């Protein structure tokens, strides 16, 4: 009995009641001194292998060969840009272009209907395309592409641009050999050489497997270019074709009478060895002769560059070819080449003829 009461008293004293448990839990479990001994170390997040691996593709490394390829494209594109820019200026201002010829003139080709595509000057289209190639090549070599483009997209655009100009150049070489037979245009041939070199240079930068993947796209681009050119030329009447010209040689009659000034200047030009190169079908040559008059024209040293007429396959006279004649009329005075129709004051100045000392009598 005593033992039972003692056990009951022990239970009441040692075991907390259910209602007193919250009050006892409010008492700190650890003395304040325990918190003073705790050290909290800060955690620092370090980039792991996965994070560095994700950033690596954004900083792709170009090989030395890739850099040379892109720089070559930039240089060739810049040359093409300057050439087509010059031709665009001549086309817009309706000026004559000077270039080595053989049986034709660059001006004839530049001023023909084939130099317009849907009303836009063809050299202007070429200038934009060559400019794009130069821009992409320069930025690809520097790994600084705009608009968030990566190297893969930049290469694809570059390949598309070079494919388009190569396809256009191939088409125009076909036109040059069929529609302008007998004519030779140095600027056309230079542009073709640039475009084909750019195309094969860009293509060389692709592996065999990559070429197989993009060959379909290249064929599609080339087909679109040729289709667009055909559509443009078929929808507009083509009024000029050297292949259809067959002109037998004919003499031109000078109807004006020579003035004392024209006679004196003609004698002086003959004395200094000046020569006038022209073609029988050239209207500016006829106007130049009419300005001198019948008697003075007979004194001038005139060289006909097409004495056998002009037809398909006709070559320019050897003397004109050796003189590097690029258009008509052309004067060669004291070693100076002067192109175009000139008045008396210009010819006198080039030859050293003093107009003030002229005696009208």
Separation of alpha carbons 62 and 225, rounded Å: 31
One DSSP character per residue, 80-114 reads HHHHHHHHHHHHHHT-------SSS-HHHHHTSGG
> In Å, how far from its chain's centre is CA 210?
26
Give the number of residues written for the chain.
361
Separation of alpha carbons 189 and 173, rounded Å: 8
Give Cα separations from 269 to 93, 300, 334 (angstroms). 32, 7, 10
Separation of alpha carbons 300 and 263, rounded Å: 9
Q: What is the pTM of this model?
A: 0.52
Q: What is the DSSP code (8-state) at residue 182?
A: T
Q: Average pLDDT across each block of 10 residues of the chain; the chain has 361 residues. List them in order.
A: 43 44 46 49 48 44 80 93 91 73 61 82 92 91 81 86 92 82 76 92 79 81 89 66 67 91 95 94 90 95 91 82 87 92 93 70 40
Q: In 3-state terms, what secondary structure has residue 333?
A: strand
Instruction: Please state the φ and ψ torsions of residue 315, each to the nearest 5 degrees.
Output: -105, 150
State residue 182's pLDDT score: 60
Tell me which CATH code domain 64-235 carries: 1.20.1440.130
Q: Are 156 and 214 in contact (CB under 8 A)?
A: yes
Superfamily of structural domain 247-351: Glutaredoxin (3.40.30.10)
Total Cβ atoms within 10 A of residue 126? 24
Total Cβ atoms within 10 A of residue 119? 7
The residues that bridge with 336 in the sheet, in sequence order, are 333
Q: Are 247 and 308 in contact (CB under 8 A)?
A: no
Separation of alpha carbons 251 and 280, rounded Å: 7
CATH 3.40.30.10 residue spans of the chain: 247-351
State residue 114's pLDDT score: 82
Q: Are 67 and 141 in contact (CB under 8 A)?
A: yes
State residue 59's pLDDT score: 38
Written in H, E and C, the secondary structure of 106-117 is: HHHHHCCHHHEE
CATH 1.20.1440.130 residue spans of the chain: 64-235
Sign of CA dihedral 235, 237, 241, 246: positive
């Amino acid at each position: 009995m005593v033992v039972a009461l003692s056990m009951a008293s022990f239970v009441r004293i040692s075991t907390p009641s259910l209602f007193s448990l919250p009050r006892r839990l409010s008492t700190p479990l650890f003395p304040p001194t325990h918190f003073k001994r705790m050290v909290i170390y800060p955690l620092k997040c370090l980039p792991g292998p996965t994070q560095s691996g994700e950033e690596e593709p954004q900083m792709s490394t170009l090989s030395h060969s890739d850099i040379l390829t892109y720089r070559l494209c930039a240089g060739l594109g810049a040359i093409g840009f300057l050439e087509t820019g010059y031709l665009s200026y001549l086309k817009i201002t309706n000026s004559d272009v000077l270039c080595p010829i053989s049986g034709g003139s660059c001006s004839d080709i530049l001023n023909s209907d084939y130099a317009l595509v849907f009303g836009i000057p063809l050299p202007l289209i070429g200038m934009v395309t060559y400019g794009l190639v130069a821009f992409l090549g320069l930025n690809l070599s520097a790994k600084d592409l705009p608009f968030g483009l990566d190297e893969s997209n930049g290469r694809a655009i570059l390949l598309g641009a070079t494919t388009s100009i190569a396809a256009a150049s191939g088409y125009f070489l076909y036109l040059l050999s069929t529609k302008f037979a007998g004519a030779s245009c140095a600027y056309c041939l230079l542009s073709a050489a640039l475009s084909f070199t750019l195309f094969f240079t860009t293509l060389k930068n692709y592996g065999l497997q990559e070429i197989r993947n993009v060959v379909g796209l290249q064929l599609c681009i080339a087909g679109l270019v040729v289709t667009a050119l055909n559509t443009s030329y078929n929808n507009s009447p083509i009024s000029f074709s050297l292949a259809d010209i067959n002109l037998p040689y004919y003499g031109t009659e000078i109807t004006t009478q020579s003035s004392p000034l024209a006679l004196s200047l003609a004698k002086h030009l003959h004395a200094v060895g000046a020569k006038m190169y022209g073609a029988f079908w050239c209207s500016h040559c006829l106007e130049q002769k009419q300005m001198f008059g019948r008697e003075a024209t007979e004194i001038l040293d005139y060289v006909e560059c097409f004495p056998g007429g002009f037809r398909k396959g006709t070559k320019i006279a050897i003397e004109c070819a050796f003189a590097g004649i690029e258009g008509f009329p052309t004067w060669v005075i004291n070693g100076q080449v002067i192109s175009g129709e000139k008045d008396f004051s210009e010819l006198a100045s080039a030859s050293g003829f003093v107009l003030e000392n002229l005696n009208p009598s």
